[in-house]
Amino acid sequence: MQFSNTLQHLPTQFFSKLVKQVNAAKAEGRDIINLGQGNPDQPTPNNIIKELQRSAANPESHRYSPFSGKESLKKAVCSFYQREYGVQLQYDTEVAILFGGKIGLVELPLCFCDEGDLILAPDPGYPDYLSGISLAKAATHFMPLEAKNQFLPSYLEIPNDIAKQAKLMFLNYPNNPTGATATKEFFEETVSFARSNGVVVAHDFAYGALGFGEEKPRSFLQTEGAKEVGVEIYTLSKTYNMAGWRVAFAVGNSKIIEAINLLQDHMYVSLFPAIQDAAVEALLNGEESVKELVALYKKRRTAFVEKCASIGWHAAPTDGSFFVWMPVAKGFTSEQFATYLLDHADVAVAPGIGFGEYGEGYVRVGLVENTDRLLEAVNRVASCKLF
Ligand SMILES: Cc1ncc(COP(=O)(O)O)c(C=O)c1O
């Protein structure tokens, strides 16, 4: 059998190795505290499940959905953006329904790039950006995210010819893996950079609901001119603990939305209508559960970061997502450190190098176990006497 070049050149999944190591350790009967992944541990709120059950029993939900998704869901997305961010959207031209955020992130390079076209992506960054880039046979210019710049890319450091060539740029705040959030000024700079270089901005807002600072994380679309240059991708996976349900949406520039819908017309009929109805319930009536979830992650984060500080392990100061970006102990690479913690402390963390070259020197800790387990993880790390 001869597979296509496209298939053969897909990037290897760095973290599949970690998953295998964790599973092997668990199979030996070891009690692994797994902070290496980004899978929410809490259940989907009951009202959302009830709505799925109601709609699943309705024969109307057993038929094809409209190709670009149900009008009721697109209208709920508009109400949600108006309520949460004061952003006005047209339901029929500025909203595209997605089978999870990942799909939108993979579709955008296919919408904008031909072979060899350039895409700007953050380093460290969510590995799935590279999936779409690879499928489109595009090339990547990485934008370093460094502590000295609050983990925001510096547009001044992008060479002029690269900026001019770039077709698309991925950004993600609150950030996976660093936990950093974006400022109003940074998003304004982004619009101006995108305008002067003709770059399409794809802001991945997967952790939009999860902010712990005084101000809640900003939507890119709150920035003047943002709709002219880009879209934002919002998923229900983290906000409502719906990672398994596969429902998300892209909002913003109508031409980009049209392009996504066109590509999707050729690939899918839209989501199971009952999932779309449940998503409406989440977006319109999920506020209380989100508040509780943010309070839960904040409590976990404070407890974890304080306990780490008490053993001399100091987190990068960050304000959002459910990740903490922790420096490795002296003398270790991020991969060695993660392996050491798994072998000697039964604690799994994600090595920073898996997110890119600039992730070296850090590990990502996901706050996806309860506070007692998180504190127990720090006790186990402390007993290794590395800090
Ligand atoms: C930064 C980031 N973007 C997008 C996603 C994709 O989320 P989903 O495909 O579940 O909507 C994730 C999931 O972990 C993520 O961490």
- In the prediction, which pLDDT does 295 show? 96
Residues near 103 by beta carbon (within 8 Å), at least 6 away in sequence: 248
> Percent of the chain at pLDDT above 90?
95
Judge if the beta carbon of residue 378 lies within 6 A of ligand 1.
no
What does 112-146 look like in DSSP terms, one character per residue? H--TT-EEEEEES--THHHHHHHHTT-EEEEEE--
The CA distance from 30 to 254, in Å, is 51
Q: How confident is the model at residue 329 (pLDDT cuts 50, 70, 90)?
A: very high
C-alpha distance across the termini of the chain, in Å: 52
For residue range 225-235, what is the model confidence (pLDDT) as tens digits? Answer: 999 999 999 99
Q: Which residue CA neighbors atom 14 of ligand 1 most closely? A: 38
Q: Is the pLDDT of residue 316 over 90?
A: no
Q: Report d(CA 68, CA 96) in Å as an integer.
A: 7
- Check residue 193 and give left, alpha or beta (phi > 0: left; psi -120 to 50: alpha): alpha
Does the Cβ of 102 fall within 6 Å of ligand 1? yes
pLDDT digits (tens, 9 = 90+) for 52-100: 999 999 999 999 999 999 999 999 999 999 999 999 999 999 999 999 9
Q: CA–CA separation, 387 vs 378, rounded Å?
A: 11
From residue 217, alpha-carbon distances to 174, 202, 222, 259 in Å are: 7, 16, 11, 27
Is the pLDDT higher at 39 or at 318?
39
Name residue 350's beta-bridge partners: 364
Q: Which pLDDT score, from 0 to 100, does residue 318 have? A: 80
Query: What pLDDT is stored for residue 254 in this prediction?
Result: 98
Q: What is the pLDDT at residue 214?
A: 87
State the DSSP string of 181-208. ---HHHHHHHHHHHHHHTPEEEEE-TTT
Residue whose CB lies within 8 A of the most ligand 1 atoms, among 41, 235, 240, 246, for a mutation test: 235
pLDDT, tens digit, 9 for 90 and up, residues 195-216: 999 999 999 999 999 999 889 9
Query: Atom 2 of ligand 1 has which residue's CA nearest to it?
Result: 206
**Ligand 1 geometric centre to CA of 1 (Å):** 33
Instruction: Say whether pLDDT at 33 is over 80.
Output: yes
The model's pLDDT over 253-267, given as tens digits with 9 standing for 90+, comes to 999 999 999 999 999
Share of the chain above pLDDT 70, in %: 100
Tens of pLDDT along 93-124? 999 999 999 999 999 999 999 999 999 999 99
Q: Name the DSSP class of 180.
A: -
Kindly report which listed range (7-21, 49-63, 158-172) carries the lowest average pLDDT score: 7-21
Using 50, 70 and 90 to split pLDDT, how confident is the model at 13? Answer: confident
Measure 184 CA to ligand 1 centroid, in angstroms.
Answer: 23
Could you give the dihedral angle defined by the CA atoms of residues 72, 108, 195 and 125, in that order, rounded to the nearest 10 degrees?
110
